[in-house]
Amino acid sequence: MSHPTFAGLDLSALAGATLAFDLDGTLVDTAPDLVGTLNVILQEEGHAPLPLEDGRPFIGRGARFLLQRGFSAAGAPIADEAMPALFERFIARYNAHIADESRPFEGVVETLEALAAAGSRLVVCTNKRTDLSTNLLDALGMSGHFAAIVGADQAPAQKPDRRHLETAIARAGGAVDRALMVGDAAPDAGAARNAGVPLVLVSFGYTEIPVADLAPDELIHSYLDLPAAALRLLTACPARNDAL
């Protein structure tokens, strides 16, 4: 049965298709807890906090980069030998506060429900560690929407390497020729292009490069626009019939 929000769409054409989602900045607004963790550590070290909006674009580059960015902004760049201990402090504190303020973006849950009801396969393909990704989605009650959660540690290489996306699609039981990538930044765009998979980008995520400059096949400003975008892209590439 179609979700009431998408009553005007025939989503049956998405049955069997695989939609791979980035996590931070795509499914969930995690910036408050990530930058918040950075700021706790900065303050413990006697430095000024980093404004949330200054930290948001760099979240996709990982915790080490975010730490370096925050400490550099405070006038105290991190020495190479000091990074491992700071990184471990960051991960421990973040994991303990992983969903204090992080929330799914508006429209995410009903969109995932509608796609799943239509028979789509949903998978998370994130450069975030799998344990942290699973902990976050568990805390938000979202894990059950996905056939698999594939962090960079569960793939041969991380996005933008195509093998990360290919691994995620395979873990969901899908096929690359009947899949698309939903993301917010350059690693997602690169993975999709390298794998030959259609690309949907959201306009409200975390990116250093203006999202339009990444030339997505579809740029959406609301999750409620995703099913229609997926229909346009995936009905243009019907499933392969290997029996022929």
Residue-level pLDDT, tens digit, the chain, 244 residues? 456 678 788 999 999 999 999 999 999 999 999 999 999 999 999 999 999 999 998 898 889 999 999 999 999 999 999 999 999 999 999 999 999 999 999 999 999 999 999 999 999 999 999 999 999 999 999 999 999 999 999 999 999 999 999 999 999 999 999 999 999 999 999 999 999 999 999 999 999 999 999 999 999 999 999 999 999 999 865 444 443 3
Neighbours of 38 (CB within 10 A): 26
Cα distance between residue 86 and residue 54, in whole Å: 20
- Nearest by Cα to 66 from 126, 150, 22, 128: 128
Mean pLDDT, the chain, integer = 93
The enclosing H or E element of 188 equals helix 186-195
CA distance 209 to 148: 28
Q: Bridge partners of 218?
A: 200
Cα 242 from chain centroid? Answer: 31
Residues 6+ apart with CB under 8 A from 136: 23, 28, 30, 98, 99, 102, 128
Side-chain half-sphere exposure of 95, counting CA atoms within 13 A = 14
Closest CA to 198 of 152, 232, 147: 232
Percent of the chain exceeding pLDDT 90 equals 90
pTM: 0.93
Single-letter amino acid code for the residue at 131: D
In 10 A of CB 84, how many CB atoms? 10
- CA 28/CA 136 separation, integer angstroms: 9
According to the model, what pLDDT value does residue 8 have? Answer: 82
- 3-class secondary structure, 156: coil
Residue 196 CA to residue 10 CA, distance in Å, equals 26
pLDDT of residue 22: 98
Catalytically active residues, by annotation = 22
pLDDT of residue 236: 64
Q: CA–CA distance from 90 to each of 44, 85, 87 (Å)?
A: 12, 9, 5
pLDDT for 4 equals 64
